[in-house]
Structure 1
Amino acid sequence: MTEDTPPATKGRTVTIAVAVLVLLVGAVLVALTAFRPGDPGTGDPEAGFARDMSTHHAQAVRMSFIVRDGTDDAEVRLLAYDIINTQSAQIGMMTAWLDEWGLPKTDPAGPMRWMSGHGGHQGATAMPGMATRDQLAELERASGRAAEVQYLRLMVAHHRGGVAMAEAVLARTGHDRVRSLARTMVTGQNAEIAQMNRMLRQRGGTAV
């Protein structure tokens, strides 16, 4: 560019160069976001855990709403309230992960594939600890002490299944956020299992 180049032309040249640079930087950032190393794929254990544990948690939330409406027992209602809030928040966290990773909320190949070989699960679609339709229907019909005992027994089994799933993903992932949540689940649900067995004995039930 010569000294005779008009100032307006120089300004336009700089503006164009800056615009091109901005576009290039933006393209690089988009590419890095789309192809971040370390983000799980749809068939990876982190994605399977997020999907299947969300489904597992959803049933715990459902059972907790049922017993909350089926008893006046303050301790059982408080436990149900805690499970509703804790597991609903964790569902939100895992759903956000799937959104961040750009992955579908359900596995096109079916649930529980990621846990194959752990604790006797060989890719079966049944999640450990899930209540059956008949058990849920019975819980809905129950009230008072019967509802409390049934809920506690079902929830102990449900929590044990959840702990097994959390331990399975801990054995399969190095993803920091997934490991942190899974460890929280193992610790929290084991503590609640002990609490629920104590509550069962207090209500005339047998610890499970």
Structure 2
Amino acid sequence: MARIFVAVAAAVALLMLGAALGLLIRVPSFDSAEPKPTAVDVGFAQDMSVHHQQAVTMATLARERAADVAVRQLAFDIETNQRDQIGRMQGWLSLWGEPAQAVGPLMTWMTADGGHDHTAPAAAGASSGGLMPGMATSAEMSRLQSLRGPEFDVYFLQLMLRHHEGGAPMADYGATHAALPAVRELAKNMLGSQRSESDLMRSMLSERGARPLR
């Protein structure tokens, strides 16, 4: 009888232990929960996608038209890298159930309180015409499309350098204020690659006797 009692008690103890372990496995810890995307995550993905798309347009043109093979290689690298980044950002927006582009003023996510004030005016540098810092105007894009040879190469480098420099504060803000680690990491990678490309473009302009746009 004693042996039966011990066996039953052991079985009950094992069942209770299994149930407890099952609860621990099924119920997630609040400490490990994935943070939700904030206005910064969403706004960064939306606005940077638009900013990147113009760079892709310019780089595609340069890859096909630039006279210098070094400029064509740079254009290929920019086009490839930024297409990939657009795909990632648009994929996130789809997963979050957010529109591909912002509805309303640009760059409102770059506010002092981390992007939570949806009534704040557009961040400094964003124009009412829909252009973010560094972006080329329609007239500048038309001029780029009209050029050929070394003159095209120089103007492409000037426009793309300004484009990179204009987008840097957006990437820096995203790297610092985004809630999701993946968004912060992408923004940091953008900063690193575009700083290297900007240094290269300054050097290429200097070699051609040209200066950056102001």
Question: What TM-score do you get using the length of structure 1 for normalisation?
Answer: 0.76
Equivalent in the alignment of 1:178: 183
Matches within 5 A, 1:81-92: 81-92=76-87
The 8 Å contact of residues 106 and 123 in structure 2, kept in 1 or not, is answered as no
Query: Could you tell me how far 1:77 is from its partner in structure 2?
Result: 0.3
Letter of the 2:144 partner, please give it.
L
Query: Could you tell me how far 1:182 is from its partner in structure 2?
Result: 0.5
Query: Could you tell me how far 1:37 is from its partner in structure 2?
Result: 6.1
Give the % identical residues. Answer: 37
Query: Could you tell me how far 1:129 is from its partner in structure 2?
Result: 0.5
> Residue 66 in 1 paired to residue 61 in 2?
yes
> Residue 52 in 1 paired to residue 56 in 2?
no
The 8 Å contact of residues 35 and 179 in structure 2, kept in 1 or not, is answered as no
> Residue 142 in 1 paired to residue 137 in 2?
no
Query: Could you tell me how far 1:68 is from its partner in structure 2?
Result: 2.1
Deviations 1:87-123 (A, max 9, x none): 0000000011111111111222332211246983479
The 8 Å contact of residues 61 and 87 in structure 1, kept in 2 or not, is answered as yes
Matches within 5 A, 1:1-208: 38-40=35-37, 44-116=39-111, 120-121=124-125, 125-207=130-212
Question: What TM-score do you get using the length of structure 2 for normalisation?
Answer: 0.73
Q: Residues of 2 paired with 1:71 and 1:91: CA distance? A: 24
Q: Against the structure 1 CA distance between its residues 200 and 121, is the aligned structure 2 distance closer, same or farther, given a 3 Å change threshold?
A: closer
The 8 Å contact of residues 161 and 201 in structure 2, kept in 1 or not, is answered as yes
The 8 Å contact of residues 166 and 183 in structure 1, kept in 2 or not, is answered as yes
Deviations 1:53-112 (A, max 9, x none): 011110001011122222231100000000010000000000111111111112223322
* Gap regions ≥5 residues in structure 1: 1-35
Out of 114-123 and 175-184, give the one that drifted further: 114-123
Q: Residues of 2 paired with 1:198 and 1:75: CA distance? A: 12
